[in-house]
Structure 1
Amino acid sequence: MIVAGILALVLPSIVQGVGSAISGGSLFEASGTAGGGTFNFDFNPMALVWNIVATVLTMILSAGAIRMAFDVVEGRQPSLSTMFDRINFGQLIIASLVLGALTAVGLMLCVLPGLAVMFLSYFTTYFIVGKDQDAITAIKSSFSLTASNFGAVLLFAVLAVCVAFVGLLACCIGIVVVYPITVVGTAYTFRVLQSEPVAPLAGS
């Protein structure tokens, strides 16, 4: 799980860094002078390509980590050789596009709607990976599960953010350990909230 965490966190960052170096900058670059009052925003198409590559890579590796997390909570031995088994990447891409658009629109509407979409869609990928649902059904299922267990999910999300923050304080190295713990914890919460059986975790 730690190796999966390293892959999911480090590889997309490396790709993004290489892409920025090759494309020569960020997606949008401003030029001009404050005194003149005019600014030009130049679009960098190569940066867009690299951003898409990094985003897709993040999605694939995160889904693989979630697949391994389900193996843990369902009593199977997680393995890097099977981390991409039984994952519908087409539906993951569709879900990412839909949620990306909804979140962007929501953030433009006083920010709060966008945050609401991000929170309510918390389990979308877990429904796709764990229950093989299509993208739209998974989004609806996540909204329903999160809304009906608002307090419990909010508490878990706050704890996950706090743990991630502690991991970042440890020279960012701790986040590599925190990431798999959070993914397994989310998979465990996902099953428990639906009253589904889970295997006893090590040490429990």
Structure 2
Amino acid sequence: MAQQLDYHTIRKIFTRFHAADPEPKGELEHVNAYTLLVAVTLSAQATDAGVNKATRPLFARVRTPQQMLDLGEEGLIEHIKTIGLYRNKAKNIIRMARILVDDYGGEVPNSRAALQALPGVGRKTANVVLNMWWHFPAQAVDTHIFRVGNRTGIAVGKDVNAVERAIEDNVPVDFLLHAHHWLILHGRYVCRARKPACANCLIRDLCPYEDKNL
């Protein structure tokens, strides 16, 4: 775990991220807030590519909570059975659809507390939906962000909640909206867990990581 970087270094890092990719996007395919919520729920312990492959035909047919209820749990399972933990996820998604229809008129609520009260939705999932659909600067900390934050000193913390707070506290406000996407993509494609591509890293001169792979 690196020491927390200072303000000026963090601003330089995110200035470079922004210059390289001004509008980073999440890789989960969706057509509205509800399909985004379902996709993120399915992505737990699964790859975005695997989720997208399963949800393309699903979202061609199901785009609202009521349509999900009409499809039913067994029908949903047929679409998502290639995704890990699919039975439990299907059960939660059907329960979620019932709550959305009964309590929210079929709409997805846009408060973190309301989202987290839904079956199968944790803080990370809620933050992804708030960020990607409502453009709220919520920080969805996954394993990539946790690793990059601690390895680089951008956001140091012993658990995901601490890293989330460190991002909010240390990343300049003008970069907060896209911060988690820049960090996820950097961790996924450059600052990898086993063999980081340090030679191709655009912040390598600013990064204090001792075991750089050059």
Question: Shared fold (TM-score greater than 0.5)?
Answer: no
TM tier, shorter chain?
0.3 to 0.5
Q: TM-score under structure 1 normalisation?
A: 0.33
Q: TM-score under structure 2 normalisation?
A: 0.32
Specify which structure has the higher proportion of strand.
1
